[in-house]
Amino acid sequence: MEVVQTRLAVSQPGTYSGIADALAKIVRLEGPRALFRGLTPTMIGILPYAGVRHRCHTLIASMCHALTLPQASARRGHATGYRVSR
């Protein structure tokens, strides 16, 4: 869809009558592979962002889990999960 969106944005008015027309013309004139043009640089740019976002989400989720789990267990009358050294 990025290719179609870009073509609609930069083409002369009247070249395409809409999304479906642009999609059909691109596939008919350039082949289906034209829809994937530029995918590799896009993926290379997204992967570091997605990795950092996943790591931050995992870290924050584990911190929230560690803070809320012992309190919730204690309210229900279960052991808190803390070890008591003797």
For the chain, the average pLDDT equals: 84
Per DSSP, 12 falls in state P
Domain boundaries, the chain: 2-36, 46-76
Predicted confidence band at 13 (pLDDT cuts at 50, 70, 90)?
A: very high
Q: What's the pLDDT at 11?
A: 92
Q: What's the pLDDT at 17?
A: 94
CA distance 43 to 37: 12
CA distance 52 to 59: 10
Q: What's the number of CA atoms in the CB half-sphere (13 Å) around residue 54?
A: 6
Give the pLDDT confidence of 27-47 residue by residue, as tens digits. Answer: 999 999 999 988 898 889 999
CA distance 49 to 53: 6
Give the N- to C-terminal CA distance of the chain in Å, as an integer.
64
| Mean local confidence (pLDDT), 46-56 | 94
Quote the percentage of the chain above a pLDDT of 90.
Answer: 59
